[in-house]
Structure 1
């Protein structure tokens, strides 16, 4: 397995991994299915604090994810994680998350978080196996305030926990 920076030439392929409206929304922020053609070249943000990656099995891309850096909060969020449906259930999601932890931790922020849809049991299991734990219920409720859907928020347990709150 090898984590590589995302190349826009893979955009159509990654967009096709979204198998329903929920997955399209998680990748693009738009509720639509199939992935809207007009978004296929623009769904990724050009924000300098967002770094996009592909996980390769040999020369085949099998997973996509982003590392979002937040200077203000001194944290990193792993986001928009998706695995090729043809290889789901084979451990590639966990491999992808562990690979994304490399650049996330190398960024030097004090915390690493991710959010997941509560009904996505396979992803939650992969995140637990990769060292993530749920944030306290009160923080989860606070962080879900204003979100378009409720998420299960998780923190990487190996990250440094600062004095005070987990997140500002």
Structure 2
């Protein structure tokens, strides 16, 4: 990832830009702005990050829920112009670290079965496919792969 990108906590004033990128990337399955507001309302169990360029432009965002030994990746998204430069991996690594800090021993996620770049990213970072959720993504009847990273080793 380029050094002119920084990660920081998502704040309420980021929701409009995050939602616009969400709609660009995910269309009919995009989260609503209200969904992001709801997630930000639970800072004790949710961590959301934004990645921004040196010019302040939103390049991506990610979130994780940590409520038990099994943490869950809620979302990872990278703007089209920033894809292919390692930002998705940087965001994922930050979520893994947050889950580890919260005491989680595994990290779960769902990914569209037809999203080969995302699946490759998760596999490169040690995630294994453990289940399929048939017709999970609507509209479109797209299956979801459930993937898990385990164990989350303590930081040394």
Q: TM-score, normalized by length of structure 2?
A: 0.75
Q: Does the 8 A contact of 1:131 with 1:158 survive in 2? A: no
Higher normalized strand content (fraction of residues): 2
2:143 counterpart SS class: coil
Aligned alpha-carbon RMSD (Å):
2.4
Q: Paired residues, what number?
A: 139
Gaps of 5+ in 1: 29-38, 161-168
1:7 lines up with 2:11 in the alignment: yes
Match of 2:127 among 126, 132, 135: 132
Alpha-carbon separation, structure 2, partners of 1:9 and 1:55: 14
Query: Is structure 2 residue 19 aligned with structure 1 residue 19?
Result: no
Flag structure 2 segments of 5+ consecutive residues without an equivalent. none
Residue number in structure 2 paired with 1:81: 76
Is residue 55 of structure 1 aligned with residue 60 of structure 2? no
Which residue matches 1:67?
Answer: 64
| Misfit runs of 4+, over 6 Å | none
CA–CA separation in structure 2 for the residues paired with 1:57 and 1:99: 17
Moved more, 124-133 or 1-10: 1-10
Q: Give the secondary-structure state (helix, strand or coil) at the position aligned to 1:109.
A: coil
Mapped partners of 1:150, 1:122: distance in 2: 16
